[in-house]
């Protein structure tokens, strides 16, 4: 009871905080485009300008002091070291002198500066608009040429048998670009306006000399130029220049700047409150692992918003990755239902699918038909291999987990030899010298790259919906669902659920296990082809080794146990797993820049989930 | 030897939760006597012995009431090891022997004769060297005392079962200071001659002054070996008798007794015997722990035939064998048609349904819904509840739902709805789901194995009433296997008693307790009486 009470109190506090944050955000967010925001940015611009100029001034003083000190020491007959020491000492002293001086900006009269800056900004804008127009025209004129060049280079590479990487967007070489007369005129105009600004600044900082102004010009220009930039960007830039304290109403400016984050925070708090309030119901319905991952996913979404990453693009990416992986995850379903537990021998199917894909490239069948042929060939091979694999599993009942893992690893190693000796002739597939297939085979529009992804795909803002991919995923799930409702499917799931029960009904347990295993392997073959067409590459050699584990952990995240699963577990699990990985990487990169933390995170999550599931597999089968 | 009794267990009471398994039981054993402990399965024999040996299961469930007195001193036995040091030994039903070890090593296990060596002086006792000679001579002595000539260096692995039993006994005798030996069903696995030898060994041991508690259900052995006899029934002490003042018939009667009132009363009727529904000839079933060794019987159409007997005697093997759930051999005909044994679907197709005794293991798909459980067998065996689209057949959700709801209503299955997982139901409701599944097959013949095991009284009554209703109203032929004799007697037309995998006799439910008692211990009542008369 008290626990419930505490929970309710926490939830109320959170909701109250959320309401406050939400109201604050709601009030201040619209002000970004309003007068306050404009005034604030103007003010900030002037202040930043003064600030950087002041800093430039300090540098000037420092320089003077150093020269002075050097000169004095030289006259006193000091050697080089002594001179340097004296100069450093003078610099330190000068800096110390100015470090703690708080400039009270409000006492400075900016009446002359403000209009000058505004004028300079306007002229600069004209100049930059002209520049970007001219540049775009240049690019348009030279695009075809550049494309032809890139294609030629690519052909040459293929002909020479070198590895061809992913197609990069063609770029136009800008070295031939020359400024137009209009641009030059605008630049002259702007420079004239800068003279006014410089004069106004000299009025404020009499010590400012021409040399210092020359050095400061790029800085001043960058401060003044604010064309096309949002309030947030400007605020952040001015803040970085160190003049936050200078604004008349810093709290208000801050609130306007972070109004969106306040709104996100409010939403996050409400989500947290809901989870705390309904924790028990949720954990009963979803299970703790799904809550943990779900909360983590939501947290990542909020972090993306917080760090101003494009959430829509990232979610779109996760949707694509979900579609890419879902069929492979679906391959776990017949395995679990027929009682061979997690089919970690999935690489058998993957390899079969890859061979199917190689065949279409070898035979040069383009587009959708290439994909269809790849699937047919892959399925045929997968069915045969799966049948043999099932015979092995039926002879080693009760040891499925180790058998599947072992088979998965050995087939990958075996195929590492096979890839070297398979008689494929296409230069796209072979190494240029010697024998054997390439490590990574790039697909292009001549093969089946993106046949599903691009089918009926459409954009909503920066959110791309890979319609074909999702439809295919749903179609496979639907077919699997139909199968589980068929007489054979029902018998198969009874075998997985309780083999003795199935036997007591006269069901051939071994046969059902064979059906399940073959089905799982065939789905694996289809899965890797779907994955490859979306990824744009077919990866041979050791690449398929991990995929079985990834698929297994995805379905376990979705709520399946090693003896029980549903189609919904596939969809939930794949989305959560891929979503967390897709969102986690950029967020981790922001949190810990320049690290490989995201890769570490991926390994941690996928292996951690498998480990967790295995601890559960021995216990009760009811999740 | 001052005290009159080597062991006195006074007023022992033991509860498992709300369930009283021992109620005020007293057991007194004199030195050097063979004291037989008699009782049906579940009478409380094992629990009493668990109390005596201080098994963890007793302490973990709240201890027991009453006191244990050894040699006149009140003692508190805390663990099996404690019992051993206090001179109480046990010869187990399942042999506690290490197969890869020699007879000597098994006998002296954990009581090895050792010699000190350099390492042990540093690292302690565990590093001492075994004194093989001393150990084997001690083992030899123990083996001789049980009349076993087997070499003490033979490995236990591959020995005849009877020998293992004697090795166990030798091990107990070898323990110094042993005062009391418990034999738990020692003759169950022995051949007749071995059993005779065992009895004589027991007598020899008893003469040397060691008291023996002899747990068995074979009344003839009791009469041959025991000096005094304690009988338990339903956790209560029935009586303690001197062998000389009793007879095998009295023992049988006392062991069975009347257990309360019949839960379901059925109007007496003429046993139907017009048409044979099933005839079984020479049925052998290889079901471990429940082997059937050549049983022949006929079931008449429209009757309820009961199969009774003590646990492990093969009564469960009969339905499991006919349904081919375990490897079986023999000749079975159903309404004149030959049934090929070996595949469960044959029996199901011919219209025999079975409600298994192993509800969770064989009877249910615990992870699936009630409706899927109910329709499963009919769907797989008879192809019902399916939509057919050419070669593809999908399950007919609506028909399944309708059938499930009908069954839930008729059998009063308490659940949240047909989609609830059967694993979350109570035992009684799970049993009803099993029955519903069998009925959904529309069988001509129904096997019901232990239908009331592990379910509460209300559910028991309902299950039994359902069976009677099926029989009377639909004319279904039912064979019911149960360890609860009272249950069989309340609804069956005839009761078949099985002992040691063989049919002993078929009795009327009105037959006397003594007859049932005799039959259960493997003695055909008529023959016994005939023997007495001669």
Contacts of B323 in chain A (CB under 8 A): 504
Interface size between A and B, measured as CB pairs under 8 A? 78
Instruction: Count how many residues are written for chain A.
Output: 623
Q: In whole angstroms, what is the distance from residue B494 CA to residue B509 CA?
A: 6
B428 and B510, same domain (yes or no): no
B185 and B301, same domain (yes or no): no
Cβ within 8 Å, pair B393-A487 = yes
Specify the pLDDT at position A104.
59
- B392 vs A45: which has the higher pLDDT: B392
Residue A440, H or E segment: strand A440-442
Cβ within 8 Å, pair A491-B380 = yes
Cβ within 8 Å, pair A504-B361 = no
A486 interfaces chain B, CB cutoff of 8 Å: yes
A491 interfaces chain B, CB cutoff of 8 Å: yes
In a domain, B295, yes or no: yes
Q: In whole angstroms, what is the distance from residue B446 CA to residue B471 CA?
A: 10
pLDDT at B530 over 70: no
Cβ within 8 Å, pair B365-A622 = no
Three-state DSSP class for A364?
coil
Q: In whole angstroms, what is the distance from residue A57 CA to residue A546 CA?
A: 60
Identify which of B325, B366, B395 has the shortest CB distance to residue A504: B325
In a domain, B253, yes or no: no
Q: Which tokens is A247 given? A: 């604004």
Specify the pLDDT at position A525.
93
pLDDT at B402 over 60: yes
B450 and B431, same domain (yes or no): no
User: Going by DSSP bridges, is the β-strand pair B88-91/B180-184 parallel, antiparallel, or unpaired?
Assistant: parallel
The widest CA-to-CA distance across chain B, in whole angstroms, is 88
- Per-residue pLDDT, averaged over A63-87, amounts to 79
Cβ within 8 Å, pair B364-A498 = yes
> For residue B460, what pLDDT band results from cuts at 50, 70 and 90?
confident
Best of B341, B350, B380, B443 to disrupt the A interface (most A CBs within 10 Å) is B380
Specify the pLDDT at position A349.
93
Which residues does B contribute to its contact with A (CB < 8 Å)?
323, 325, 343-346, 348-349, 354, 356, 358, 361-368, 372, 376-377, 379-381, 383, 386, 392-395, 397, 421, 423-424
* B269-307: pLDDT as tens digits: 777 778 888 889 999 988 877 888 889 988 988 889 999
A493 interfaces chain B, CB cutoff of 8 Å: yes
pLDDT at A377 over 90: yes
* B335-376: pLDDT as tens digits: 888 888 888 888 888 888 888 888 888 888 888 888 888 888
**Range with the largest mean pLDDT of A176-190, A437-451, A562-576:** A562-576
The pLDDT mean for chain B works out to 84
Q: Which of B394, B412, B441 is the last residue of a domain?
A: B441
Contacts of B376 in chain A (CB under 8 A): 490, 494, 505
A506 interfaces chain B, CB cutoff of 8 Å: yes
B100 and B163, same domain (yes or no): yes
- Quote the domain boundaries for residue B20: 7-246
Specify the pLDDT at position A517.
93
* B36-51: pLDDT as tens digits: 988 877 778 888 888 8
Contacts of B377 in chain A (CB under 8 A): 505
Cβ within 8 Å, pair B344-A493 = no
**The sheet that has B276-285: what strands, in order across it?**
B292-300, B276-285, B328-334, B337-339
B147 and B231, same domain (yes or no): yes
8 Å CB contact between B48 and B12: yes
Contacts of B379 in chain A (CB under 8 A): 487, 490
Calculate how close chain B gets to A384, using CA atoms only, in Å: 22
B127 and B216, same domain (yes or no): yes
Strands (E) across B234-345 are located at: 236-242, 276-285, 292-300, 304-308, 328-334, 337-339
Specify the pLDDT at position A543.
85
Identify which of B368, B381, B397 has the shortest CB distance to residue A505: B381
In a domain, B232, yes or no: yes
Specify the pLDDT at position A380.
94
- Per-residue pLDDT, averaged over A222-229, amounts to 64
Contacts of A339 in chain B (CB under 8 A): none
CATH number at residue B451: 3.40.50.300
Best of A487, A508, A563, A564 to disrupt the B interface (most B CBs within 10 Å) is A487
Based on the structure, what is the number of domains in chain B? 3
Calculate how close chain A gets to B154, using CA atoms only, in Å: 34
Cβ within 8 Å, pair B366-A504 = no
In a domain, B256, yes or no: no
B342 and B434, same domain (yes or no): no
Contacts of A498 in chain B (CB under 8 A): 361-362, 364-366
In a domain, B218, yes or no: yes
Q: Which of B441, B467, B483 is the last residue of a domain?
A: B441
Cβ within 8 Å, pair B380-A487 = yes
> For residue A148, what pLDDT band results from cuts at 50, 70 and 90?
confident
Partners of B213 in the beta sheet? B35, B182
* A501-529: pLDDT as tens digits: 888 888 888 999 999 999 999 999 999 99
A622 interfaces chain B, CB cutoff of 8 Å: yes
8 Å CB contact between A581 and A314: no
In a domain, B251, yes or no: no
Specify the pLDDT at position A385.
94
> For residue A348, what pLDDT band results from cuts at 50, 70 and 90?
very high
Specify the pLDDT at position A166.
56
Q: Which of B379, B414, B441 is the last residue of a domain?
A: B441
* B298-311: pLDDT as tens digits: 898 888 999 988 87
Cα distances (Å, whole numbers) of residue A418 to A27, A260, A442, A540, B411: 66, 56, 20, 10, 62
**Range with the largest mean pLDDT of A184-188, A428-432, B338-342, B525-529:** B338-342
B194 and B270, same domain (yes or no): no
In a domain, B1, yes or no: no
B369 and B347, same domain (yes or no): no
* A137-147: pLDDT as tens digits: 888 888 888 88
- B263 vs B335: which has the higher pLDDT: B335
> For residue A110, what pLDDT band results from cuts at 50, 70 and 90?
low
Closest CA to A48 of A241, A240, A256, A236: A241
Q: Which tokens is B495 given? A: 């009761």
> For residue A617, what pLDDT band results from cuts at 50, 70 and 90?
low
Contacts of B365 in chain A (CB under 8 A): 494, 497-498, 501
Cβ within 8 Å, pair A505-B346 = no
B347 and B388, same domain (yes or no): no
Strands (E) across B383-493 are located at: 386-389, 392-395, 445-449, 477-481
Q: In whole angstroms, what is the distance from residue B511 CA to residue B494 CA?
A: 10
**Range with the largest mean pLDDT of A148-157, A374-383, B424-433:** A374-383
User: Going by DSSP bridges, is the β-strand pair B65-70/B7-16 parallel, antiparallel, or unpaired?
Assistant: antiparallel
Calculate how close chain A gets to B380, using CA atoms only, in Å: 7
- Per-residue pLDDT, averaged over A564-588, amounts to 85
Cβ within 8 Å, pair A497-B366 = yes
Closest CA to A355 of A383, A322, A387, A324: A383
Q: In whole angstroms, what is the distance from residue A306 CA to residue A300 CA?
A: 9
> Residue B348 burial by CB count (10 A; 0-12/13-18/19+): exposed, middle or buried?
buried
Window 543-572 of A: residues touching B by CB (8 A cutoff) are 563-564
Contacts of A491 in chain B (CB under 8 A): 380
Calculate how close chain A gets to B5, using CA atoms only, in Å: 48
Specify the pLDDT at position A621.
39
Specify the pLDDT at position A481.
92
B447 and B436, same domain (yes or no): no
Closest CA to B365 of A502, A188, A412: A502
B179 and B201, same domain (yes or no): yes
Q: Which tokens is B176 given? A: 């110094």
Residue of B nearest to A623 (CA): B367
pTM for this prediction: 0.71
Contacts of B368 in chain A (CB under 8 A): 493-494, 497
A500 interfaces chain B, CB cutoff of 8 Å: yes
φ, ψ dihedrals at A90, nearest 5°: -60, -40
A504 interfaces chain B, CB cutoff of 8 Å: yes
ipTM of the complex: 0.71
In a domain, B339, yes or no: yes
């Amino acid at each position: 009871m008290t626990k419930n009470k505490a929970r309710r109190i926490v939830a109320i506090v959170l909701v109250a905080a959320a309401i406050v944050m939400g109201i604050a955000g709601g009030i201040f967010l619209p002000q970004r485009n309003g007068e306050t925001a404009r005034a604030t940015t103007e003010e900030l611009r002037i202040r930043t300008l003064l600030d950087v100029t002041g800093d430039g001034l300090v540098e000037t003083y420092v320089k003077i002091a150093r020269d002075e000190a050097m000169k004095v020491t030289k006259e006193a007959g000091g050697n080089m070291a002594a001179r340097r020491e004296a100069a450093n000492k003078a610099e330190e002293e000068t800096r110390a002198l100015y470090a703690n001086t708080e400039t009270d900006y409000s006492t400075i009269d900016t009446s002359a500066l403000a209009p000058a800056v505004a004028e300079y900004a306007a002229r600069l804008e004209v100049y930059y608009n002209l520049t970007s127009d001219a540049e775009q025209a240049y690019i348009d004129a030279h695009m075809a040429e550049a494309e032809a060049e890139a294609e030629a280079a690519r052909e040459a590479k293929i002909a020479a048998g070198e590895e061809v990487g992913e197609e990069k967007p063609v770029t136009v070489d800008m070295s031939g670009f020359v400024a137009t007369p209009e641009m030059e005129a605008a630049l002259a105009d702007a420079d004239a306006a800068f003279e006014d600004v410089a004069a106004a600044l000299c009025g404020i900082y009499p010590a400012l000399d021409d040399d210092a102004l020359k050095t400061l010009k790029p800085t001043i220009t960058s401060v003044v130029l604010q064309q096309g930039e949002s309030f947030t960007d400007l605020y952040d830039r001015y803040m970085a220049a160190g003049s936050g304290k200078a604004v008349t109403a810093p709290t208000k400016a801050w609130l306007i700047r972070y109004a969106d984050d306040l709104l996100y925070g409010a939403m996050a708090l409400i989500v947290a409150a809901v989870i705390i309030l309904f924790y028990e119901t949720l954990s009963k319905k979803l299970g703790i692992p799904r809550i943990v991952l779900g909360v983590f996913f939501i947290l990542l979404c909020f972090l993306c918003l917080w760090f101003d990453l494009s959430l829509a693009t990232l979610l779109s990416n996760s949707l694509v990755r979900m579609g890419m992986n879902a069929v492979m995850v679906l391959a776990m379903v017949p395995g679990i239902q027929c009682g061979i537990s997690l089919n970690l021998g999935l690489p058998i199917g993957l390899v079969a699918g890859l061979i199917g894909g190689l065949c279409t490239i070898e035979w040069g069948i383009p587009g959708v038909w290439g994909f269809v042929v790849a699937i047919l060939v892959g399925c045929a091979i997968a069915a045969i291999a799966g049948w043999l694999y099932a015979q092995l599993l039926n002879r080693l009942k009760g040891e499925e987990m180790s058998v599947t893992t072992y088979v998965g690893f050995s087939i990958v190693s075996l195929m590492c030899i096979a890839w070297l000796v398979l008689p494929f002739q296409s230069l796209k597939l072979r190494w240029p010298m010697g024998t054997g297939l390439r490590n990574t085979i790039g697909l292009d529009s001549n093969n089946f790259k993106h046949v599903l992804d691009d089918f009926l795909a459409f954009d909503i803002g920066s959110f791309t919906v890979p319609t074909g991919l999702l439809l295919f995923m749903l179609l496979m799930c639907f077919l699997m669902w139909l199968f589980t409702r068929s007489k054979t499917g029902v018998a198969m799931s009874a075998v997985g659920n309780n083999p003795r029960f199935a036997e007591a009904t006269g069901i051939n347990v071994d046969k059902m296990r064979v059906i399940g295993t073959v089905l799982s392997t065939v789905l694996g073959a289809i899965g890797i082809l779907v994955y490859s067409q979306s990824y744009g590459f077919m990866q041979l050699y050791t690449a398929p080794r991990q995929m079985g584990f990834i698929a297994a952990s995805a379905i376990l995240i979705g709520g399946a146990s090693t003896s029980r699963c549903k189609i919904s577990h596939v969809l939930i699990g794949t989305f959560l797993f891929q979503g967390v990985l897709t969102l986690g990487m950029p967020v981790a990169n922001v949190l810990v820049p320049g690290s490989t933390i995201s890769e570490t995170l991926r390994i941690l999550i996928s292996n951690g989930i498998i480990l967790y599931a295995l601890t559960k597999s021995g216990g009760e089968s009811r999740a | 030897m001052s005290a009159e009794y080597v062991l006195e267990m006074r007023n022992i009471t033991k509860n498992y939760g709300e369930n009283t398994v021992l109620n005020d039981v007293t057991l007194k054993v004199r030195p050097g006597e063979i004291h037989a402990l008699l009782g049906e399965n579940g009478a409380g024999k094992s629990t009493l012995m668990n109390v005596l040996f201080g098994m963890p299961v007793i302490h973990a469930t709240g201890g027991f009431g009453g006191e244990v007195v050894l040699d006149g001193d009140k003692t508190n036995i805390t663990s099996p090891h404690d019992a051993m040091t206090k001179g109480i030994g046990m010869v187990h039903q399942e042999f506690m022997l290490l197969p890869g070890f020699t007879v000597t090593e098994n006998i002296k296990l954990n009581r090895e004769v050792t010699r000190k060596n350099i390492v042990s002086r540093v690292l302690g006792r565990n590093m001492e060297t075994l004194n093989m000679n001393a150990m084997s001579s001690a083992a030899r002595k123990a083996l001789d005392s049980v009349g076993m000539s087997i070499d003490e260096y033979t490995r236990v692995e591959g020995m005849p079962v009877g020998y293992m039993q004697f090795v166990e006994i030798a091990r107990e005798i070898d323990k110094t200071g042993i005062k009391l030996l418990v034999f738990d069903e020692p003759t169950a696995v022995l051949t007749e001659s071995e059993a005779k030898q065992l009895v004589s060994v027991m007598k020899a041991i008893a003469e040397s002054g060691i008291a023996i508690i002899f747990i068995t259900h074979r009344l003839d052995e009791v009469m041959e070996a025991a000096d005094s006899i304690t009988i338990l029934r339903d956790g209560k002490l029935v009586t303690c008798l001197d062998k000389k003042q009793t007879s095998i018939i009295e023992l049988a009667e006392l062991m069975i007794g009347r257990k309360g009132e019949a839960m379901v009363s059925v109007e007496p009727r003429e046993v139907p015997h017009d048409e044979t529904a099933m005839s079984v000839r020479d049925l052998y079933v290889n079901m471990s722990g429940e082997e059937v060794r050549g049983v022949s019987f006929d079931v008449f159409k429209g009757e309820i035939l009961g199969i009774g007997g003590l646990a492990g005697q093969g009564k469960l093997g009969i339905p499991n064998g006919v349904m081919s759930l375990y490897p079986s051999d023999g000749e079975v005909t159903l309404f004149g048609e030959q049934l090929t044994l070996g595949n469960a679907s044959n029996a199901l197709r011919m219209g025999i349904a079975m409600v298994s005794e192993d509800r969770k293991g064989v009877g249910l798909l615990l992870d699936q819904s009630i409706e899927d459980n109910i329709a499963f067998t009919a769907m797989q065996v008879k192809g019902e509840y399916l939509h057919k689209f050419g070669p593809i057949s999908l399950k007919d959700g609506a028909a399944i739902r309708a059938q499930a709801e009908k069954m839930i209503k008729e059998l009063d299955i308490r659940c949240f709805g047909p989609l609830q997982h059967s694993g979350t139901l109570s035992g009684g409701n799970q049993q009803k789901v099993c029955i519903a599944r069998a009925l959904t097959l529309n069988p001509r013949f129904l096997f019901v194995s232990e239908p009331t095991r592990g379910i509460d009284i209300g559910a028991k009554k309902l299950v039994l009433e359902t069976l009677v209703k099926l029989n009377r109203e639909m004319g279904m032929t039912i064979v019911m296997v149960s360890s609860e004799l009272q249950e069989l007697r309340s609804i069956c037309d005839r009761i078949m008693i099985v002992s040691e995998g063989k049919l002993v006799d078929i009795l009327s439910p009105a037959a006397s307790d003594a007859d049932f008692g005799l039959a259960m211990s493997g003695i055909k009542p008529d023959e016994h009486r005939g023997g007495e008369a001669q």
